[in-house]
């Protein structure tokens, strides 16, 4: 008769362990589904990836630097032309 309550507790513990494992599995499935849905949503919004953004940003910085250098060169040439006029 001592086996009765212990067996019930053992069965209950096994049930809880199985339930915890099932909840963990469901949690991973929900996480995977959420990530997939979020990725589809972001792709539909035409949001650029970080790497693409950084590449374009570097191109813009380089273009600005070249533009500033050319502006300075044009200003120097215009000053030189102005000094040559009588």
Q: What is the pLDDT of residues 31-86, one digit of tens each?
A: 999 999 988 888 888 888 899 999 999 999 999 999 999 999 999 999 999 999 87
Judge if pTM exceeds 0.75: no
Q: How confident is the model at residue 3 (pLDDT cuts 50, 70, 90)?
A: low
**For the chain, which residues make up each domain, given as ranges?**
1-47, 48-86
The confidence score (pLDDT) of residue 1 equals 42
The confidence score (pLDDT) of residue 78 equals 95
The confidence score (pLDDT) of residue 11 equals 81
DSSP letter string, the chain: -THHHHHHHHHHHHHHHHHHHHHHHHHHHHHHHHHHHHHHHHHHTTPPPHHHHHHHHHHHHHHHHHHHHHHHHHHHHHHHHHHH--
Separation of alpha carbons 6 and 37, rounded Å: 46
């Amino acid at each position: 008769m001592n086996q009765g309550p212990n067996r019930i507790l053992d069965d209950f513990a096994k049930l809880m362990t199985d339930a915890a494992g099932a909840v963990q599995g469901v949690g991973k499935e929900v996480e995977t589904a959420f990530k997939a849905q979020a990725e589809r949503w972001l792709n539909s919004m035409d949001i650029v990836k970080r790497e693409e953004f950084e590449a374009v940003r570097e191109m813009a910085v380089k273009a600005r630097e070249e533009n500033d250098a050319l502006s300075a060169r044009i200003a120097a040439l215009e000053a030189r032309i102005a000094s040559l006029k009588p």
